[in-house]
Amino acid sequence: MSDLVLETDFIKEMVRQMRALDTYGTQNGWSPEQILDPFVLTKERKSAMPIIGDPDEEITSRVKAFYNAIAVLIEKECGLMAVPFVHLTHEGFGRALIIVGKLVAVDKTLRDVHRFGFDSLSKMKTESDKLLSVAIERIGQYPDVAGL
């Protein structure tokens, strides 16, 4: 894996978010690759998963960590508080929103959350970059609403 990806602000924030979820310190001494490994779903891992399934607390926490990390980057970029909301049904469908002021900066529909993951950490970073870019653009278009 490229060390350049591990040095990005997003990946560093993801590691922080995941460490925050580790209340018992089981990940102490783990490398960033080990901590973020559950986010990487290779073809083999995906094929081992059922097509239909209910997400458990661990998966739900990872989804929330992903959107929390994006919210932190939005705050760093624009200086306004960004609040993530993730609402999921027990079947793994729902929505992720990131609100800045009164503006919905990110609105992502979630499906099959039990299979939440990316082909690689690079792909995860690419997806976060897309969401961050859209959010910053919306905040730029509607600064008055974002500032409320």
73-99 tens-digit pLDDT: 999 999 999 999 999 999 999 999 999
Instruction: State the DSSP code for 82.
Output: E
Q: Residues 146, 69: contact at Cβ < 8 Å?
A: no
Share of the chain above pLDDT 70, in %: 99
d(C-alpha 38, C-alpha 15), whole Å: 12
Domain CATH code at residue 63: 1.10.3100.20
Give tens-digit pLDDT for 45-63.
988 888 888 899 999 999 9
pLDDT at 115: 92
Domain span holding position 141: 3-146
Instruction: State the DSSP code for 136.
Output: H
Where does the pLDDT of residue 134 fall: very low under 50, low under 70, confident under 90, or very high at 90 and above? Answer: very high
Total of domains in the chain: 1
